[in-house]
A = this chain, B = another copy of it.
Amino acid sequence: MKFKLIISLLLLTASAVAFGQEKESRKAKKNNPAVADKGLIKVSIMYPFAEGKTFNMEYYETKHMPMVAGFLGSNLVRYTIEKGVASGIPNQPLPYMAIGTFYVKSLSDYQAAIGPNRDAIRADFSNYTNIAPVILISEVVK
Which A residues lie at the B interface, using CB under 8 A? 2, 5-6, 9-10, 13-14, 16-17, 20-21, 24, 27-28, 31-34, 37, 41-46, 57, 61, 65, 78-89, 92, 94-96, 99, 134-142
Contact, CB under 8 Å: A134 / B95 = yes
Protomer copies: 2
- A99 / chain B contacts, CB cutoff of 8 Å: 136, 138
Chain B neighbourhood of A84, CB < 8 A? 136-138
Given contacts A57-B141, A85-B137, 8 further A-B contacts (CB under 8 A): A16-B17, A24-B28, A31-B32, A33-B80, A61-B142, A65-B142, A83-B139, A89-B135
* Given A24-B24, A82-B141: A135 touches B88 (CB 8 Å cut-off): yes
